[in-house]
Amino acid sequence: MEDDELTDDDFIVPPCKYEYLDHTADVQLHSWGETMEEAFEQCAIAMFGYMTELERVEVKQVHHVEAEGHDMQSLLFHFLDELLFMFCAEPFLVARRVKITEFDRVNFKIKARAAGEEFVIGKHTQGAEVKAITYSAMQIHDRPEVERPELFVIVDI
């Protein structure tokens, strides 16, 4: 992860394309988008939104994250895990906006920008703590000729 300059794009908050589904002792993130990249971005925002009210998060800094896997599920897992690590360790960044800058479906690699600010108790509400990303019941639906790309991810809370 590295810091970078904020761009005008970092301040644009995309429309919400995710929801939370009940799951025994955990929560399931369900996200979608016009593209698979957007579905991944929305899943990341859903995770941050479950931890705090995103309306209170200002865009003050940006960090780059990279993730790779051996297939799409492991890529999604590692992408969310990198973002969760960014929240749980310095810089303790809660992202209001996540934008994928490179999405390699052949080699299963992602580069992304996470824009937000350091999580501060008192300024930011404390939602449920996301302890870990899981592979349990993970689903990736990518049939653009039939429907929009959709993701289902259970996170351990």
For the stretch 13-51, pLDDT in tens is 888 999 888 767 789 999 999 999 999 999 999 999 999
Which residue ranges form the domains of the chain, and what is each CATH number?
Answer: 26-156 (3.55.10.10)
Q: Which two tokens stand for residue 99?
A: 């934008």
Q: How many alpha carbons fall within 13 Å on the CB side of residue 1?
A: 20
Average confidence (pLDDT) over 130-146? 89
What is the C-alpha separation between 124 and 128, in angstroms, rounded? Answer: 12
**DSSP three-state, residue 96:** strand
Residue 138 has pLDDT above 90, yes or no: yes
Report the run of H or E that residue 113 belongs to, with start and end.
strand 109-118
The alpha-helical segments, DSSP class H, found in the chain are 36-51, 72-88
Residue 10 has pLDDT above 90, yes or no: no
Q: What is the pLDDT of residue 1?
A: 47
Average pLDDT, the chain: 92
Q: Which two tokens stand for residue 93?
A: 């960044």
Q: Which two tokens stand for residue 98?
A: 């996540």
DSSP state of 124: B
Q: Name every residue whose Cβ is closer than 8 Å to that of residue 102 and which is 6 or more positions away in sequence.
A: 109, 110, 111
Residue 2 has pLDDT above 60, yes or no: no
Sheet (strand 109-118) strand order: 2-4, 61-68, 109-118, 93-104
What is the C-alpha separation between 119 and 17, in angstroms, rounded? Answer: 23
Residue 88 has pLDDT above 90, yes or no: yes
More confident residue, 6 or 140: 140
For the stretch 103-112, pLDDT in tens is 999 999 999 9
**Which pTM does this prediction carry?**
0.88
Q: What is the pLDDT of residue 104?
A: 98
Average confidence (pLDDT) over 83-96? 94
Per-residue pLDDT band for 156 (boundaries 50, 70, 90) equals very high
More confident residue, 2 or 155: 155
